[in-house]
Every structure is written in structure tokens, then in C-alpha cells.
Amino acid sequence: MSTETGETETNEVETSESSEVALEDVFGSAIERREDPALITGEAEYTDDIQRPNMAHMAVLRSQYGHAKIEDIDTSAAEAMDGVIAVYTATDIEEAGTPGDLPVGWLLPSLKTPSHPILAGDRVRYQGDGVAVVVAEERYLAQDALDAIDVEYDRLDAVVDPKEAVEDDAPAIHEWSEDPTDTETEDDGEAEEVPPNVAFDWEIGDADATDDAFANAAHTVDIDLTNQRLIPNAMEPRATVAEYLPGTEELEVHMTSQNPHLHRQLMAAVLDVPEHKLHVVAPEVGGGFGSKIHHYPDEALTAWCARELERPIKWTATRTETYLTDAHGRDHRTHAELAMDEEGTVTGMRVDTYAGMGAYLSTFAPSIPTYLYGTLLSGQYDIPAIHCQVTGAFTNGAPVDAYRGAGRPEALYVVERLMNLGAKEVGMDPAEFRRHNFIPSDDFPHETPVAVVYDSGDYEPALDKALDMLDYDELRERQEELREEGRYLGIGFSSYIEACGLAPSELAGQLGAQAGLWESGVVRVHPSGKVTAFCGTSGHGQGHETTFAQIVSRELGVPYEDIEIVEGDTDEIPQGMGTYGSRSAAVGGSAIATSSQKVVEKARKIAAHQLEAAEDDLEFEGGEFSVSGAPDRAMTIQEVAQQAYLAHDVPDDLEPGLEETSFFDPENFVFPFGTHAAVVEVDPESGEISFERYAAVDDVGNQINPKIVEGQVHGGIAQGVGQALYEGAEYDSNGSLMTGSMQDYAVPKAEHIPEMDTDSTVTPAPQNPLGVKGVGEAGTIAAPQAVVNAVCDALEPFDVDHIDMPITPEKIWNAAENDDSQEEI
Amino acid sequence: MRRSYVHGESATAVATAATIASTTTVTTAPTSTTITATTAATKLTAMDTHDITLTINGTEHDLSVEPRTLLVHALRDELGYTGTNVGCESTLCGACTVNMDGDAVKSCTILAVQADGTELRTVEGLRESGTFHPIQEGFQKEHGLQCGYCTPGMMLAATDLLEENPDPSDEEIREGIEGNLCRCTGYQNIVNAVEYAAEEMRADDTGSTETAAADGGVPMTDYEAVKEED
Amino acid sequence: MQFDGTFELDGTTREEVWLALSDPVLVRNALPGCEFLLEVDDESPDFDELRERAAETDDEEISMDPDVIAERSFEEGSHYAALMELGVGSVKPSFETVVTIAERDFPDTVATGEGDASNSSFEMESSMHLAETDDGVGVEWATQADVFGRIAQMGQRVINPVANRVVKRFFQRVQSQLDDFGAEEPETAADASTDPEAGLTGKIRDRMGI
């Protein structure tokens, strides 16, 4: 494809230096990121940059096969090599008495949880399974020694398609029980027996009401959709540097983590290390997109080797290893149906999905195709009845877990493809069909039939803005004219909703989460009035150091430059849940805002005492307490801080110091929404797609830093466009990954991504003190169906209803070529 | 049925995706096929070391490396220039791009011994006398980076582009950085960052031909010499 | 993975090609990277032993004499062990390969095989059909191969050219063997020009049991 450039204004936000921005304007300004100087000079330290004296290197031997029994492992030749310190297999882990089994962090009632050992013992279930590790004096030597390990396999049949995996004759990937009646029952008429590769069966919504809606429908449409497997592709591969300090029995682990506290908690259990003796640090992290949330075997193995050998150990994945082992995303096969009445009002939706889980259950895997998917199927629409059935399937592929969007892109892809088909069926314009079915703005809070209450929303303004940006009516006329000339323009909409900042913890617990979903924030005002704030989120490119300082600056009235933000270190931050699910601003930002407010309240007490005024008589503005009606009786927060630590004259019932901690647990999700529109031209003969326009209107609530919001939207859209047109992980029938490098997996390049025109509406979130929602995943959730809808719209004259992603030129060519109506021309 | 031998019919969806992944040849790196650091190193144990000299950001370094040591590992592990990152070990992502004798090259597929005697510029050499290079300024002002991992390579590729084309169009910039992948930004603000730098550098150049704040330790004359050889 | 194609061998007959491709000696010499090709008793031979055996055995002469080839010809149901060194990308693994001749029925051959190298392996089934063409013989071949491990990870776009190169070189060498033989032929079999059926072709058919 190509992009047309230079014709349209893309409405980009301009940045300012923080020194140019007045204190009262800091929150909401597009301040340049304070993270950047270290990143653009090479000074930032990523995990693989870390060097330790006497450091050794670990490498992992991975399975040659997608599915096989391990008959024998001979490590003697590798052990004999110069420079090789140790070679370990599952037997060594077991003999050391290490639990070595990775836990699952989200349980469902019907869930079957297979053991997931950090090294495979007698069986490998996907190519990423580690069979042995080598520790050597030097990076290359460790890799050399892998080749000297002799593993005898007995290859087994594999299955990679989630729908095929749950058929009766599919090869069983796990053995479920010592109880022979459970899995080895032979044809004794137990028709109820669940096929061995079914991980879970889950449903949401009212099946009967949905059946009624379809029985009474004037119109119905249905579609089969493949939401293909994706590889996250953070540019920095996963890596770990672990060091054991025998004197204090401390294990220090620097790793590529989106949530160091969670990794500490899980790793403590996996390795049987006391949690307080495990220090996990996320240094600079080069992107994650979900892939660095989960607990993988490799990080634990590095730490295990460091403790075993009492030496610092480094492990860094090769790109191929990240492709084999990083949790993949999506992998759904779905049949979806929509019911409508005569007027084109949607009356019901029925969805049946097979979700590939891969060989094992990754950390949060069970929640992704269930609670993060089924609950979003109402989209922006007022739909009376929805039913969704999901079958989770084990396959011989990499585990599937949260990847940017995590369940929500899959849901909105279903909803928005159905809405396009529905509009066509009833003969309405797709934009007007959407508008006709929107939840009205006066109907919030709105409870959907899939167990979610949207707290706020106003969908028409975003759609209208997108239509304006496109000059929609004129564009449709142009589309008609171009068709006469044999040129095929397509316009695709995606009116999306997103639930992020998953909360509250109590609800998450009821749904099966094995963790709380609060966030901690500490605000420490130093005696000089400078501030350090700590948050349990762990940014890796999102600019938290900038935006969180903007929050604290507003709350405390302290200059932005006087505030430092610390994340990503379990020794410095009380506790944390990390950065994922677009939660950091809404939950973490709210935690430090709440702590800031507590600091102000304590400072108010001190100021009132010192100014000999009643607390209620003090006004706080611009970092200064003043007595109402007597503005010259005033004290800055910096002066209060000094007094708080001097503690010579503070109220009797007050402790010295000025520092507060909060654990913020929101009352609900936040619900960003918006409308994206893609305009493409498709050449049916070559199959080429070129973007004419990409317009995005997002409502992410109040914006702390509009430039960072823009960047998040851009990046999200790029990944969504990547899914729509280029990306897809492919396994062959033996479970061998055919897209094992960047040569075969198409990560979009600059020329593949269109110019994006971004704008926003602002509907503040009512559930948090900042009125912010989340923006990290918006683009990825919105973009795929905008592009697919546009391509299908372009090919409307060829009677093309659907093309599965990634829409390659070959698929377009085939779709247009196979069109009967054209052959008669 | 007659089938052509040369075009074995083995195409799958993979091949299509792969075609896109590779529609652009990597112009910035002299290299062949997918070679990982590990495979390149296979079976080459217990070997001699070679003494080489690398001039990095104007500083001369003498070091001993194995014949198989990749330039990027010599820079990072031997000499501590960790600003240059490794993303794919196969020239495809461009994170490891550095400037060698005036041209952007991918240091993950050049052996350290091949770089013997060359002048290299890495991200650490972009800032001079406490002043950011225009490309660094551009990336910060235009929000051209998020996680920052691709940024050093991206900036080195961009300075090479601007060296050859001081006033590139959007399209030329997108083509110019085709060998460098970014997963965070969607590229738009990177394009803007390069445009920003181009403007700044042109403004600098109109002041004086000697200004060239751009080259961080690599004298202009060297660039020209290399260009002529090409 | 599926590979297939047709290789044109000019100025020859199906019988001559059949004869050539029945000869383990010729095949070993024609296969790029093939260090030895030895008949073995079963599908799991000891390659260390075979290496020694190969080192001790003198190379047999290439011949196009049906009498000679009939003695050592591939036979249906028999197994052969080969050590094949293949350059894929920058690595050159040696595959310990065992091939079973599953079917041999002029002009069709089917063989199955498995190869193992350090961290890589393959399983394959190949078929070959000899078709008469205007200029000679078209060897129509097809291979269904499953590739595993490190080689597989290099991706199809690395593997396909390697597979194609191996096949191409193989048939080029077969062609040159046939050409050499063709050049000698008039002197050694003068009758052939007058009555091909009674000459070499007939002899091949007779000796090779076609």
C-alpha cells in the first residue's frame, strides 16, 4: 500500500517546554516528555544494558517440535565444553525442591488448569517449551552449548486451530487426571464428557431472550470471523538479569516487566523465595503491549540459576525466541449473528466463539476471551438481548494472553462487522444505522445485557465529528463518481467502546481474578518542598513520569520541575499492580492524586496551626494556604513542608512529616469511546490498498497531556492497521511456527501506516478524581474493523461481504476475481 | 500437468505476509539473509582473537575480539556503548543502526573485525558540547518516541537520510526509515521529528557551511570521501 | 511444506533416466552435500558405524551399464542411509538421513525419508514420475516435507530456495551424466541407432525388469 500525504491537515498537537507553561495550566498541557533526554542520548538503561562483575549468561534450549514426548536428554557434551558452567533440565529443578510451576491468575468455574513447569520434563506441548538451560561464561558460548545438547523426541500429532482442537479426534495436549475414568473412558456412552482440549466453556447473557429476539426478527445477518493470532512485537526482547546475595539471602531481579510487584509475587511462589527477599526492578522497558505482564518460565529460570550458582546471570531472548514464547494475542474463530426489526433497530446478538489458549494457560489468559470480551459485545448500542458462548481451546501454539486491547478488539471487531452487515441488510447508511442504534446520551448509567454498567457516554458528537472530518456526504458522492471510472473507494466506520481500568477489586474477585485491581500511590513532600511520588504502575513508553508529575503539580500547586516520579521497583514502592489494560492514569494516577489530596489536608492542618486560623478558613490555591479575607496571612506548601519536618510547632495530634499513601480501588471500569473512520482505495486487479484518510475521534475523558494522548492513539491505530492488513502468526499442522522472524511476520513499516488525523470529545469519567479514562488501547480496539469495513465497502460492487484479516492483496484479488456478478460484465 | 520447476508452488499466506515484510530491501545494511547472532556463531568455538581499532564518536578504542563477534556486541558488551540496541539480530528492525564511515549500517550483522579501522558514530555521539543534535530535538519536540528502544537506531538512520537529502518529503522520510521498525508511535510523529530536524539543519547550514552541528565527531570530509567511492 | 516441479532432461529416454536414477552411486554423486549413501537393514542405523563403513569402502565407479546397475539398483522396500550436509542461511547442518523406497514401478517412484541434525529435523515423502516429452524426458517430482527446529524457524523464504537449489543441482548433474553417457553411446552401442528397442533401451528394460 501507499499513503497519500500532504493533502490533509492532521490536527496535530504542539508540545511546549514545561518552563513555558504556567503552574495552573500544567495539567492538560502538551508538555514535552521528561523521559526523552535519557532515551535520545542512549543514557537510559534497559535490562540487557546491565553488566555485573562475574556475570554469566543463560540460554534456553527450546523444543524442536510443536508436540512431542521427550525420551531422553543427554547434556554431557554441552557440560564438557569450555566456558560452560552448568546445564540444567527439569530433573535438576525437581531435585532442588523448587515448585517450578507457573500459576494462573484468573480462574473460571469450568476452567481446567494444566501444570505449566518452567522446564518441560517428559513432554513438550509447543515449540516455546524449554527443555534445558545452559549457563556459560559468555553470550555466544551459551548458545553454542545448546547445539551440543542431545534430545531424543518422539513426535506427536499436533493441533493448532482452536476449533479443530476441541473436536473429538484431536490429539490431546494435556492429561487431566490420575483418575482413569476422567480422561481415559473409552466409548462407554458418556456423551457429556468434555473433549480433552477444552480449557473452559463460558457464557454470558440471556440465551432464551436472545433466541426470542431472533425468532421475532424482521432481518437477520450472520458472519464467520477469524480474529488471527498476533505477535506483540515489543521492540525490546524479554530479558532478565538476576543476582543472588548469599549474605542477605536476597534475590535481585532486573527484568522486562510491566508489573514488577506482580512478578515478585508470582516468582516468589514459583521459586519458593520469601517475597520480602525478592527484589524485582523494571529498568527502562522497551515496550510491552501486554507481553511483559505475564510470568514466563525464562525469568524464573534466570533467577533460579543465579541462586543455584551464586553468580549474576543474564538472559536475553533472541527475536525468534520472543516469537516462539511471548504470549500471543487474539486467535478467535467466531460465528456471530444480529437480529433487527423492520426499522433497522437491533434487537438481538448471538455470538459463538472458539478461543485458542495455546499450550498452557498464561497468567491472565482465561479472563481475556471471557470477561474482557463477552462484556463488551453491546458496543455503543442499545441492544435488548445478547448471548455469547466461548469455548477456550488448548492448542500446540504459544500461550495466548493479553495483547494491546486484550479481548476488547475481538469484541468490537464482531460488533462493528455485524453493524456494517446489518446496515446493508436493512438498506441504511452505515453511519446512520449506528446512530439509530446508539445508546441515547440521556440513558446513562446504562446497563447492558452483558453485565456491564456504562457510567457515562455521549456517542453522537464523536460520530458527527468524524463525519465532519471526512466531509462525509461529499465523500459518498465522490465514491459514486469514482466507481463510474472503475476506481473503488471505501469508507469504513468503527464506533467503539472500551472498558479499561478494570475494577473494582471486589467485582474482579467475584469474576475469578486472583489479584486485586487497586493501585498504590505515595506522595512524599521533602523538607525543601520538593516532591517524590511513587506509583505501583510501571510505565514502559507511556510517559508516566511526565503525566503523573502533571497530576501532582496540579494537586499540590508545586512546580512541575520540583516533582520526581518513581515506578518499577519493589523496594521503593509499597505495592503495585502495574501497567496494562489502559489503567495507569485512571487507577494509578488517581492513587497519587488521592495521596496528594491527603497531603494537602495534612498540610492544611499544619498551616492552620501556624497561621492561627481555623482549617475551614484556609483557602488553598497555587500551592499556597491563605486565610479567607486576609490574603497576606499565607503560607506556601513548601513552608508547610519545612515545618512538618522541623516538627517544632505542629498540632499535638499530628505526626511529623508530610507523606501520604493511598490504595485507590475504583468503583467501576472507565469507558472510553469514539468513532474511527478509514477511507481506502482498493485496486481489485492488483489487490493494492491505499489509504486516503484515517480519522480518529476519541473520548478518553480529561486529557492530562494531549500530545501523549495523541501518541497513544497513533500507536494503537498502527497496531490495529497492522492486524487488519499485515500481521498474522501462522503455525503449520505440526505446530511449527512459520512466522518465526521479522522476515515472515510483517510488523508494519513507516510506509504501511497512513497519516492519522486525530481529534477528541471530552466526557469526563465520573468515577475517579481526575475524570480521566484510558487511551493506551483505544486505537488498537478501534482500527481493525474501520479498515476492514472500508475495504469491504470499496469492494461492494463485487459483492464482497467479508475478507478475513490480514487483508492481503492476494485475498482482495481472489475476492474480487471470484465475484460472479463481475464475470458477466 | 506441467509445472515449472523454478517456481515451486509452495506459497502460503505466510509468503504473502513475508512479501510485505520484505518488499523493501534494506538499503542501509550490507547483508544477506536472516542470520541470527547465534547461528552465525554456531560451531565456531575456541577461536583466536583479533586486535582491532574502532574510533567511536571520536575516541579511539583498541580491543581484541573473536572473529564472530558482532559489531553491536563489541560496542555494547566490550566497550559499554549500550545506547545502541539489539532488536532482531537479523537486520530487519534497525534498532542497532549506527553510522560507520558516514553511512548508516546495522551493527547486528557486521562483524566487529569488519569494522576494524572505521569511524563509528553511535547515539552517544549525537549530543555535542551539551547541545542536542537537531534530530534529538525533533524527536523530543514532536513526541517521536515512546519506549525509546528503536529511537537510537531511528535517529542514526534519519541523520543518514538527511545527509543525503536535506529536504525530504513525508514520503521520502517514510521510505528513508523503512529499515527501522517502531512499534509504539505509528511513525507519524517520527516523520514529524525528521522534518523538524531537516528544517533546523537547513537553517544551520544557511548560516555557515562549517556549522554542521550534525556530525558528532565524524568530519564532513570523511562523509564526502565515502560518497565518492560509492 | 509442499515443493514440486518438473525438470526437463533433453536427448534421453525414460529408460535411460530410470536406469540413472536407479543407481545409488550416481545419485550419491549427483546429490549436493551427500557424503555417503549406503543400503541399511532397518530405519534406525548407527551412523557412527556407517561413517566408518563409508570411509573404508572404495567409491564404486559410475556406470551406465545395465548389468552393473541391476546389481546395485534401488529396490522397493529397501532402506538407505545418507549423510547430507545442507547450507541453510549461515548454518550447515549435517543431516543423518534414512530413506525408504516405498514404491518402485516404472515410471514411478515414491520414497519416504527422515533426517536429523542438531536442533533440526525433517520428514518427507517424495514422488517422481518420468514422462515422455518432445525433447526427452520430463521428471515430474513432488515432495511433501515437514521441517522442524532451528531450520524451520528460518522460514519458508530461506528454506524454499535451498530446496530448489538442491533439486536443481541434482538434476543438472544427472543431465550431465546422461550427456557424458550419450557422447560415448555411439561407440559402445552401434546398433542402437537402427533399432532402439532392440538396443540399449531393450537391454535396460530387460535388465531392470521394466
Interior/surface letters A577-608, b for 16+ CB within 10 angstroms, e for the rest = bbbbbbbbbbbbbbbbbbbbebbbebbbbbbb
Per-residue pLDDT reduced to its tens digit, A579-610: 999 999 999 999 999 999 999 999 999 999 99
Mean predicted confidence (pLDDT) in C13-35: 92
Q: Is there a single domain that holds both residue A561 and residue A480?
A: no
Residues of chain C neighbouring A147 (CB-CB closer than 8 A): 118-119
Local confidence band at C209 (pLDDT 50, 70, 90 cut-offs): confident
Chain segment A536-551, per-residue pLDDT in tens = 999 999 999 999 999 9
Cα A670 from chain centroid (whole Å): 15
Say how far apart CA B101 and CA B120 lie, in whole Å: 6
Question: Does B171 touch chain A if contact means CB atoms closer than 8 Å?
Answer: yes
Query: Which of A612, A637, A664 corresponds to the end of one domain?
Result: A664
Q: Cβ of C97 under 8 Å from any chain A Cβ?
A: no
Please enumerate in sequence order all residues whose Cβ is within 8 A of that of A379, keeping only pairs 6 or more positions apart, or say none. Answer: A411, A412, A415, A416, A419, A495, A496, A497
Judge whether A128 lies within some domain: yes
Same domain, A360 and A441: yes
The answer to whether residue A512 sits within a structural domain is no
Is pLDDT of C189 > 60? no
Provide the domain limits for residue A680. Answer: 329-502+668-823
Least confident of A231-240, A781-790, C62-71: C62-71
| A620 and A764 assigned to the same domain | no
Q: Mean pLDDT lowest for which of A7-11, A503-507, B55-59, B125-129?
A: A7-11
Same domain, A597 and A682: no
Q: What angle do CA C60, C63, C69 make, to 5 degrees?
A: 85
pLDDT at residue C18, rounded to an integer: 94
Which chain C residues touch B5 with a CB distance below 8 Å? 5-7, 164, 167-168
B72-84 residue pLDDT tens: 999 999 999 999 9
Task: Measure the N-to-C terminal CA separation of chain C; round to a whole number of Å.
Answer: 32
C4, C157, C164: residue with CB nearest B18: C157
**What is the Cα–Cα distance from A584 to A580, expressed in whole angstroms?**
7
- DSSP letter for B123, please: G
| Domains of chain B listed by start with CATH number | 25-125 (3.10.20.30), 134-214 (1.10.150.120)
**Do residues A146 and A55 share a domain?**
yes
Q: How far apart are the first and last CA of chain B?
A: 49
Given a cut of 90, is residue C164 above it in pLDDT?
Answer: no
pLDDT of A398 strictly over 50 = yes
- Band of residue C195 on the pLDDT scale cut at 50, 70, 90: low
Cα–chain-centroid distance for residue B168? Answer: 18
Neighbours of chain C (3+ CB pairs under 8 A): A, B
Distance from CA of A89 to the nearest CA of C (A): 16
Q: Could you read off the pLDDT of B184-221 as tens digits, one per residue?
A: 999 999 999 999 999 999 998 776 444 444 444 333 33
Tell me, what's the pLDDT at B222?
38
- What mean pLDDT is predicted for residues A305-321? 97
Facing B5 at nearest CB: one of C5, C154, C155: C5
* pLDDT for residue A699 is more than 90: yes
For residue C183, what pLDDT is reported?
A: 63
The helix/strand/coil state of A582 is: coil
* CATH number for position C27: 3.30.530.20
Which structural domain range is residue C52 located in? 2-208
> Are A647 and A783 in a shared domain?
no
Model confidence at B8: pLDDT above 90: no
Residue A12 has pLDDT above 80, yes or no: yes
Q: How far apart are CA A153 and CA B60, in angstroms?
A: 51
* pLDDT number for residue C197: 55
Mean pLDDT of chain A: 95
Both A811 and A688 in one domain: the answer is: yes
Q: Which residues contact C168 (CB under 8 A, 6 or more apart)?
A: B5, B6, C7
Which one of C1, C148, C158 has the shortest CB-CB distance to A65? Answer: C148
Q: Which of A261, A281, A311 is the last residue of a domain?
A: A311
pLDDT at A190 > cutoff 60: no
Inside any domain, residue A5: no
φ and ψ of A84, to 5 deg:
-90, 125
Per-residue burial over C59-73, b if 16 or more Cβ lie within 10 Å, else e, is eeebbbebebbbeeb
User: Per the domain annotation, does A25 fall within a domain?
Assistant: no
Residue A601 lies inside a defined structural domain of this protein: yes
Return all residues near A779 (Cβ < 8 A) that are at least 6 apart: A676, A696, A698, A712, A713, A714, A715, A716, A717, A718, A719, A720, B186
Report the amino acid identity of residue A792. C
Binned at pLDDT 50, 70 and 90, residue A10 comes out as low
Q: Mean pLDDT score of chain C, rounded to an integer?
A: 86
pLDDT band at A111 (very low <50, low <70, confident <90, very high): very high
Give this complex's ipTM. Answer: 0.95
- Say if residue A369 is in the same domain as residue A480: yes
Residues in B touching A742 (Cβ below 8 Å)? 21, 88, 90, 92-93, 181
Confidence (pLDDT) at A791: 98
pLDDT reported for residue A177: 63
Q: Give the burial string for C136-158 (b: 16+ CB within 10 Å, else e).
A: bbbbbbbbebbbbbbbbbbbbbb
* B6/C164 Cβ within 8 A: yes
Mean pLDDT of B141-167: 98
pLDDT in tens, C74-117: 999 999 999 999 887 767 889 999 999 999 999 999 999 999 98
Task: Tell whether A274 and A344 lie within a shared domain.
Answer: no
Q: Are residues A495 and A530 in the same domain?
A: no
Q: What is the CATH number of the domain that holds A679?
A: 3.30.365.10
Domain tally, chain A = 3
Q: What is the structure's pLDDT at C88?
A: 78
pLDDT for B163:
96
Q: What is the mean pLDDT of chain B?
A: 79
Among A664, A699, A720, identify where a domain stops: A664
In this prediction, what percent of chain A has a pLDDT beyond 70? Answer: 96
Q: How far is B119 from chain A (nearest CA, A)?
A: 18
Taking the CA of residue C1 and the nearest CA in chain A, the distance in Å comes to 8
pLDDT tier at C119 (50, 70, 90 boundaries)?
A: confident
| pLDDT score of B207 | 64
Q: What integer is the mean pLDDT of C191-204?
A: 64
Total number of domains constituting chain C:
1
**Torsion angle defined by CA atoms of residues B209, B214, B217 and B220, in that order, rounded to the nearest 10 degrees:** -40
The confidence band for A817, taking pLDDT boundaries of 50, 70 and 90, is confident
Verify whether the Cβ–Cβ distance A15 to B141 is below 8 Å. yes
C150 to chain B: closest CA residue: B39
Picking from C120, C119, C74, C121, the residue whose alpha carbon sits closest to that of residue C100 is C74
A346 has pLDDT over 60: yes
Query: Do A438 and A401 lie in a common domain?
Result: yes
Q: Which of B79, B81, B50, B78 is nearest to B65 (CA)?
A: B50
Q: Is the dihedral of CA A780, A783, A787, A788 positive or negative?
A: positive
In sequence order, the 6+-apart residues with CB closer than 8 A to the CB of C129 are: C107, C108, C139, C140, C141
Does the pLDDT of residue A184 top 60, yes or no? no
Q: A564-580 pLDDT, tens per residue?
A: 999 999 999 999 999 99
Q: In this structure, is the dihedral angle defined by the CA atoms of residues B127, B131, B134 and B136, taken in order, positive or negative?
A: positive
The alpha-carbon gap from C115 to the nearest alpha carbon of chain B, in Å, equals: 19
pLDDT at C57 over 50: yes
Beta partners for residue C82, in sequence order = C37, C97
Distances in Å between the Cα of A628 and the Cα atoms of A32, A601, A603, A616, A637 are 36, 16, 16, 9, 17
Predicted pLDDT at A189: 45
Same-domain pairing of A543 and A652: yes
**A34: Cβ contacts below 8 Å, ≥ 6 apart:** A18, A545, A546, A549
